[in-house]
Structures are given as structure tokens and as C-alpha cells.
Structure 1
Amino acid sequence: MQSLSDIRVIAPHFKRRLSGVTSTLVQLIPEQRRRGLGIVTLGPGLPPGMPALSWAALPRLWKRPQGASHRIWHARRNNEMLAGIVLKHVLRMPLKLLFTSAAQRHHTGYTRWLIARMDGVVATSARSGSFLKVPHRVIRHGVDTALFHPPGPQDALEGTGLPGRYLIGCFGRVRHQKGTDLFVQAMIALLPRYPEWTAVISGRVTAEHTGFADDLKRRIKAAGLDSRIVFLGEVDDIKPWYRRLTLYVAPSRNEGFGLTPLEAMASQTAVVASDAGAYAEQIAPGETGAVVPAGDGGALRQALEPYLADPALAEQHGRRGLDHVRQHFALAREAEALEEVYSSLLGQPVIGQTVIGQPVIGKSRA
């Protein structure tokens, strides 16, 4: 691992299970390191290859990094903010605290208390920023267009053993919040009229949502569509499945930011999504896909049907979606914007040596 004296940013990850934050860090941190930023993670639940600070090395954070007065503690969850507050204000470690908020709701009093003690705050969308009561900067997540890319010959549908010529998919944890039932309802209504299409659902079914998933499977079987609405389970690598799709659906009832539409568009796949999270800020309606009100199954079905009736339209919007992501949501744009925030908080660039000014984001409590 890079010497701790060269580390400028620590990105804690205090959750073992895969989440949207996990997906963000897995893509973003390698990009940040490629750009020359000294950054490590701390905590469980990330792939072995990620650069990580061990818990045993935590006391070494009392020593200032080489050439800088502080490090950045970049939290994305309440428990990570709390840990940063303890490290800085109780243990007196030289840290600047940054929080990225993706929440699409009013914060609790406890969360507001934590946020008020941050030195800087980032919102992942204009909508999430509207719920913040402190100065902040909007930096939308990006996607790695090298990892998520258009299909090649190896991504042909024929190799999957699934019927039909076109795939429509819905990925993510199978539960009410994610709107999996809305997708299934739409497929039960539409697929009998469009025999060339097959639907796939991929994602984890946790114990508390097993009954929900089992009910969906019963409804699919009762409709005689169990060979055309297929549960893939939790696949090892979802990227090829994005490339096999002609249309991706993100029907969440509520969401934080939500990366899957960007991953789909980077794979040259058109997207129909709810307006949960930042989905509406990601999609160009009528060009790269469509956006419908969250929780409205009828609107979802109506938005999907034109694509099933005209696969060429989906393919056209998929090509435009690829251009859209490359122009507006490339991962490098997110990394560059965060570098500006880090540099502002530290009063000097995190990459290079020239001082660029004093902190301007939030209030400094060093």
C-alpha cells in the first residue's frame, strides 16, 4: 500500500453488505488513485484489491501527512460521520470532515447534528441537496465507461439459453422499495403481446424479502410466463447482462442516487426509470429513455410499451444514452470535482504542490 504519509483522503466504508455506496467506492477510488490522489478505504465489505487502511494503523493518523496540515475523512453514512467526529474532536486527530449526502428526504435531528459538524458537504444530486440545511456542492456520481461499455460478439443473447430476440431487465435487490413488483406487473401485462421479448431480474433476495420474491414467482407462473420472466439471482458479474439488454428498467419507489441507469446507458442500453433518487437527473426523456412517477405501475407500463413495440427505438435511445453518459457522467468528472473539494478544504491541492486558496465549502472547524 502507498505510504500513509502520502495519504490525503480516507474513505470509510462501515457496512459489510453490498450497497450503492459500495458500488460508488469500488469504481471511484481506483479512478482517484489513477489520477494520483493518495486515498484509502477503512472498513469491511469491499473487494480485496481495494487500497485499505488497517484498523491497527488508525493511531498513525495522529501524525500529519507529508506536506499537509490535515487529511480528509470522507464519510457517506451517519456512523462514518460519527467516527470522524470522534477522531477529530475527541481524539484530536488532524482531520477535515467531509460528508456526501444522497438522501432524498428530510434528515432526522441526529443526522442534522452530525452534518452540522462537517467541514464540507457534497450532495449527489440537486434533489438531495434540496434537503440540506448547510452550504454544499452538488457532484453527481459518474460511471466507469471502461468497465461498463457497449456489447461485443461475446455478449450475444444466444449464449444465455433464454428465449426471444430482445431482453428487458431489472437489476438490484428484490424488494418492494426497488419496485420489482411493478416491473413484474408490467411484464405480465405486456409480454404476451410481444413474444420476441424476455424479461430478466437479477439481485439478492434477503431473508426478510423471501416472501415478497416468492409471491412474484407465483404470479409469474400463474400467468404462464415463468420461461419468459426469469430470476437470475445474484450473478457474479452483472456487466455482461447490461450489454445483453435492449432495455433496462429502474422502477424504484425510493432511492439514494442510483447508479444502475448510468451503468446501463454506458452499456448502450436505453433506460426507463422512476423519478426516485437522481434518476430523473440522469436520463434525457425522449432521447435516452423515459422517466415515470415513482410507484405508478400504470405509467411504467405505458412508458415501456413503445420500446417493446419498436425495438429499433430502444436501440436508438441506447446509442444516444452512451453518448450522454460519456459527456455528462464519466467517472473522471466526479473524481475531478471531488479533488476540487478536497483541495479547498485543505487549502492546497491534493494533487501537485501549488497552493490554490483557502477552504470555501462549508465551515472550517480545524
Structure 2
Amino acid sequence: MPSRLSQVSVIAPHFKRRLSGVTSTVIQLVPVQNRLGQRVTTLGPGLPASLPFMGWLDVPQLWKAPEGQSHRVWHARRNIEMLPGIILRDVLRMPLKLLFTSASQRQHTGWTKWLISRMDHVIAVSAKTASYLERESTVILHGIDLERFSPPLNRQEAKQKVGLDPAFNYIGCFGRVRHQKGTDIFVDTMLRLLPAHPLWKAVIAGRATAKHAAFEEELKAKVKAAGLSERILFVGEHTNIPEWYRALDLFIAPQRWEGFGLTPLEAMATGVPVIASDVGAFPELIVDGQTGRIVGRDSVDRFVEAAEPYLQDDGLLSASATSALTHARQNFSIEREATAIGQVYARLLKAD
């Protein structure tokens, strides 16, 4: 009787219970990878039961390669997942090829450099990330679900659906409410812009954790003091976030730091142009002057200067929205990402 892992080619370990960008990546990618025939299973806690998984008691089965292959791929995304892969391959002599996906945009510690040096191959999620690696890598940008993030048939109706007034245009800023995400930069930009543009409002969607609750309250107090509480809306965290994107006319991503950042892709896929700071992968996602603008981080003046033309010129707004949608659909599907990763798997599995 064949073992339950005899048909599995790739192990995707996930060794943290805390929800993170890595968790989201695994949850989004694994079903698509398996639809494409890549035969991926997960190992570890913190993932939904709907994903294929193996238990710790199944690990000894990794000594035997899958049918028709000499190796499996161990696809790690964190240090704590690289190290067990090295032990399984080099100490226990299991037939594994080790792959690491790096999203970090900082100088690595000596420990991390050593772990990365032991990998058979490395994927970088952006060219900027690749620049911090001291070895060859394959750059594969993240993709998104273009069915989930898609434009509305009628944007005015989309606004009504989430409780917004369809008589106004809306600028959005979505994500955790905190200093790192630049929520204060967005608020200060809106305080400068909205008084001169009475047909525009702003929406901040996202949660402030307990650590950042005082930061959010300070922003709300600043908005109230400016008399703009009815035009700068804090709507909290929502599970139907694609519907909120569909209600927008312009999106701003003012982060001070970002590892990758999916919000510009999600906005563009719903037909919304994006103005973003030059952090993370944003400069690799947005075509400056066509699908939106890239501006210097941490500068309210620069965001005001970049955003105002969109508030003044409906033609520019419409043309940029069309370009953003086309760009997202042509370049950033999750199927494209999964296919590119599958090509790396194939090269590793063919290697002697």
C-alpha cells in the first residue's frame, strides 16, 4: 500500500501560529499550486484545515522519495523553517532540495546568511529584496486573486453597498492603523486636500491593535478639530475588503516601511489608481505616471502634490484607473506567481 506522501512533491512548512504575511501567502498559494499539479502539502500549525497537510508522525516518510522522483522540495519562508530543512537533509539524509523565499529588505544577520547559504535555491519577492541577498536568486513578485479583487459593474452602487454616499468620490487607505503604515501621513494629506475639493471624502479601513489605539485616537481628534469628521471616515476592520476597494476612486499607500505590500495590487485590480511611497515592492508594482504615482516616503507635501491632479482632473483619474486595471490583470495574477514558483520546483526536482 503506498504511503500518504508518495504523491507529494513539495512540503510547505509553516511553524508560527501567529497570522502574518507568510501565513496569507501559504493560504492563497497552496490551493492554486495544487490546481496546477505541483503536489504541495503543508506541515505545521496556524493554517486552515481546508489545506492539504501532513502531521509530524508522517515526517519519517520523507526518507522515501515520491513516486517517479529522486527528491522532494522543502519550501521554507522563515529562519525557523530553513533550519529543520537543513537538519532533515544534511543530518537525517532525507532526499530533499531546500528552497527559501525571502521577503526581507534589510541586511541579514550572520545566522540568517548561513541558513540562506545552505539552501539549494532562493526566491526573492522583489528586486529590492534580491539586492540584500549575497547569492543568486529568482525574483518572483506576489500575485493576487483577480476574481476576488475585480472592478464593480457600477461604482456608485458599490459605494452604496458599503454604506457610502454615492454623490462623493472616495480616497482610501487600507491596512493596520499605525505609524509604520503612515496612517498619520494619509490623514494629514487629507486635511490639506479635502477643504478645497468638496466632492471628495476619505476612508481609512483597518484595525488599530491595543498598542496603537492611542495613535488612532490622536488622529481622530485631529480630524475632529479640523471639522472633517464627516469627510475622513474611520470604518474599522472589515472582512469584505474587496467591496471597499470597489467603492474607491483613488488609493493611497503612505507606508514608511513595507516588506512587500499587496494593497496597491488589490486596488489596481479593482480599477483604482494608486499613489504610493517608494518602499517595499511598490516601485515594482506601480507604473509611475500611468497606473498612479510613486513618491518619496514620509512627506505630506509630496503626497499632496501627487494626489491633487487626480482630484482636479476626471480624465486623468479615468485613464489611470483603466491603466491600473490592465496592468494588474496582465502582470499580477496569483496563477502567474504559482506558475513561476512551479518552474523553480521543476528545476530543483530535475537537479541531480
1:136 aligns with 137
The AA in structure 1 aligned to 2:220 is K
1:218 aligns with 221
CA distance in 1, matches of 2:298, 2:172: 18
Please list the CA deviations of residues 309-331 of structure 1 after superposition, one character each: whole Å capped at 9, or x if unmatched: 22442232111111111222222
The more displaced of 146-155 and 213-222 is 146-155
2:326 aligns with 323
- TM-score, with structure 2 as normaliser: 0.93
Contact 2:162–2:244 (8 Å) recurs in 1 = no
Please list the CA deviations of residues 129-153 of structure 1 after superposition, one character each: whole Å capped at 9, or x if unmatched: 1111011111111222122111134
C-alpha root-mean-square deviation of aligned residues, in Å? 1.9
Q: Calculate percent identity across the aligned residue pairs.
A: 55
The AA in structure 1 aligned to 2:329 is R
1:18 aligns with 19
1:167 aligns with 170
Specify which of 193, 201, 205 is matched with residue 204 of structure 2.
Answer: 201
1:287 aligns with 290
Please list the CA deviations of residues 98-129 of structure 1 after superposition, one character each: whole Å capped at 9, or x if unmatched: 11112121111121111111111011111111
Helix, strand or coil for the counterpart of 1:6? coil
Helix, strand or coil for the counterpart of 1:175? coil
The AA in structure 2 aligned to 1:235 is H
The AA in structure 1 aligned to 2:333 is A
Contact 2:105–2:259 (8 Å) recurs in 1 = yes
Equivalent residue runs for 1:40-79 within 5 Å:
40-79=41-80
Change (3 A) 1:197 1:47: farther
2:341 aligns with 338
1:259 aligns with 262
2:302 aligns with 299
Contact 1:156–1:244 (8 Å) recurs in 2 = yes
Please list the CA deviations of residues 50-105 of structure 1 after superposition, one character each: whole Å capped at 9, or x if unmatched: 22323343333233212212211111122221232233233333221111112121
- TM-score, with structure 1 as normaliser: 0.89
CA distance in 2, matches of 1:93, 1:62: 5
2:236 aligns with 233
CA distance in 1, matches of 2:138, 2:132: 13
The AA in structure 1 aligned to 2:122 is V
The more displaced of 262-271 and 322-331 is 322-331
The AA in structure 2 aligned to 1:159 is K
Residue 3 of structure 1: how far off its partner (Å): 4.1
Mark the runs of 5 or more structure 2 residues left unpaired by the alignment: none
CA distance in 2, matches of 1:198, 1:40: 45
Change (3 A) 1:55 1:197: farther
Change (3 A) 1:47 1:167: farther
1:245 aligns with 248
How many residue pairs end up in the alignment?
Answer: 348
The more displaced of 196-205 and 173-182 is 196-205
Contact 1:20–1:258 (8 Å) recurs in 2 = no
Equivalent residue runs for 1:65-144 within 5 Å:
65-144=66-145
CA distance in 2, matches of 1:315, 1:79: 46
CA distance in 2, matches of 1:3, 1:246: 50
Contact 1:162–1:198 (8 Å) recurs in 2 = no
CA distance in 2, matches of 1:116, 1:88: 14
CA distance in 2, matches of 1:316, 1:75: 41
Change (3 A) 1:198 1:18: farther
Change (3 A) 1:277 1:217: same
CA distance in 2, matches of 1:312, 1:43: 50
Mark the runs of 5 or more structure 1 residues left unpaired by the alignment: 348-357, 360-366
